[in-house]
Structure 1
Amino acid sequence: MTDPAMLIAEMGRSARTAATSLAGLPTARKADGLRAAAAALRAKAPAIADANAQDMAAATERGLSGALLDRLRLDEGRIAAMAAGVEAVAGLADPVGQVIDRTTRPNGLELSRVRVPIGVIGIIYESRPNVTADAAALCVMAGNAAILRGGSEAVHSNAATHAALAQGFAAAGLPADAVQLVPTTDRAAVGAMLAADGVIDLVVPRGGKSLVARVQAEARVPVLAHLDGINHVYVDASADPAMARRIVLDAKLRRTGICGAMETLLIDRGFADAGALIVALRDAGCEVRGDDHAAALVPGLAIADAADWDTEYLDAIASVAMVDGVEQAIAHIAAHGSHHTDAIVADDPAVAERFLTAVDSAIVLWNASTQFADGGEFGLGAEIGIATGRLHARGPVALEGLTTYKWIGRGTGQVRG
């Protein structure tokens, strides 16, 4: 078997050549390539479904959790959604070449900042075969080449999806190595990607906490990621009870295994329907663990321990704490949140604005479910991930987040002298 470091180095050289070509392509050419790729995904849907069935059977036999199985599953609707997502990216505004700002210096030198592709993007992901299509579409439209390393549990799904994408790109005349799939499940390939300084320009991990932690600890190249999705919904005393119920149930239970799911519910002690809200969550099939104040409202409620406030359940489990107003909610989120997505339900605009301003998360919502933490819902087409850091990109990372910028100066013979 090829040495993983040599394999990644060779893939990196091919990707760099492809990236150089992609960076100079007009928007229409890239869009045509994505539309051809979407058409190929639709045409190859039966083959992709068959490949996914192999992965699902193996994953079930291995005892993967329900949340992981849900992420792995590709049914007819999800394959159609993948194709639609690729097609949607083709219709988005191309950030490459956009002028961010322009100024003219007193000496007449004109300076502008212009968006350019990052170069070669490495994406390391688990259990999410849809990432193969999302990452390919976003990277190509932003003028980047991509090296994809999927998890062993989705090996057949990823290969079938990549084959369809490659067929579409080739039909449209895009570089053959614009999107490459690492052809081995050897974990050493991940280490080789993380050490590929100068070969890969940015690494984006999509997966469980252990994967993201490893990437952040070992990477010698820049990383764009989030580690946890410990998301909160705060229900203020001014909240409409019916709205609070709708939002809380959706935020927790619409899809429990995604990073935008609510994990902790914070309720103002002044909210009159607190007990009914907790019971509604429990009656909907959620295991609820509350603090002493919540337990006093709902007899028989399990008591949360210290670890609950710092746990991303990714399951039908939620912790509930009663708080004294918005300031205590903000303090709780600052102490236990992961800077991912937090929401407030409130009718009082002053309270809501205080929350929106003070909560230091990548996404902060007013009267909306945390499950909107998604690039498609933000009008960005697909997304390559959610970033919770403070540099370069934050929140759903789509086309603009996969570009950087360079300064361009236009002079008329100016010298420093």
Structure 2
Amino acid sequence: MNRRNLLKTAGLAIAGSALMPFDTFAKTSSESENQLLNDNSSLLTSKKRKLGKLEVSPIGLGVQNMSRTYQTTIPSRPEMHNIIRTAFDKGVTFFDAAEAYGPHEVERILGEGVASFRDKITIATKYGWNIDQATGKRLPGLNSQPEHIKKVVEGMLKRLKTDRIDLLYQHRVDPQVPIEDVVGTIKDLIKEGKVLHYGLSEPGVQTVRRAHKEHPITAIQNEYSLLWRGPEKAIIPLCQELGIGFVPWSPLGVGFLTGAIDENTRYAPGDIRGNETRFSQENIANNMELVNLLKKWSVQKQTTPAQISLAWLLAQKPWIVPIPGTTQMAHMQENISANALKFTSNEWQEFNSQLNTIQISGERLPAFVQAFSDVEAPLKK
């Protein structure tokens, strides 16, 4: 789908070519918009955000798809390096990867891309899936056994070309390993200087409390966007209570909030969105009401649906740092421009009032994937 043509139908004259449907929505029209892109560096560097005690740019860059897109295409490695370096030049200091992305290959791409400015940025990555450290082969289930974590970190350091990981997440809670044992291992790695901060991704609430009691958590990473607001029920209030930062993954709803997915979209084999019922034929027509709301407001604010979506996240809490991912330079530049988009309090009130009339149909993930979220670690005996 051509996202710029989609915006034309909403009343904006934006020229461009067809772009990947999962990436964030690119905007390249008008002198004022181009000036906004050129001003990104000062915008991001002058307004830092804190995840716990860790200071980062208000919008980060997720690099998950830089080794393989949702559609299973392989992006140009030099261009991925170029996007990473340009993001840094424009003020991005927070880069998010994981051992499971690739597996291993995304960490290599990120390490290569940031080598010349490694000491000026924050690298976040994740462990926890059961991946053979020698071959990178995915094995069944999860693995947060202490000795395995230590081996994973050694591999991460080599792939990322660094001597420390700034923020290390447990990608999913392991139901076989007490969180006290996991955090104990992380504390050892912190003492060795190999890890500076740690976090959890998609954890159960009680597991968060237990982990934080052992050693302060810097950040929790969960899916969170206008499309999926589940963390508002328990996790975000818990972060506020405990002083933990929050990092939304998929802040643009795997492309849906950009307007790139509609009733006519067909998914490539291997594209997980084809198995998400929120995008099924029986649900997506209803859910397009959310996209239509964003399109309406994008005309009113002379911006794009993606930027409104990111600005909304930034407005929720000062310790929320979204990490939109992309393999397109224009999309990256548009994403970080969202930090400059301002709504008045009355505008936010009106937007949220309209937003709250929309009910999303369908589940966010297939059941076999959702089963790994909100898991509580076993009690330590």
In terms of fraction of residues, the more strand-rich structure is 1
With the length of structure 2 as denominator, give the TM-score of the two structures.
Answer: 0.33
Larger RCO (CA under 8 A, 6+ residues apart): 2
| Higher Cα radius of gyration | 1
* TM score, norm. by length of structure 1: 0.31
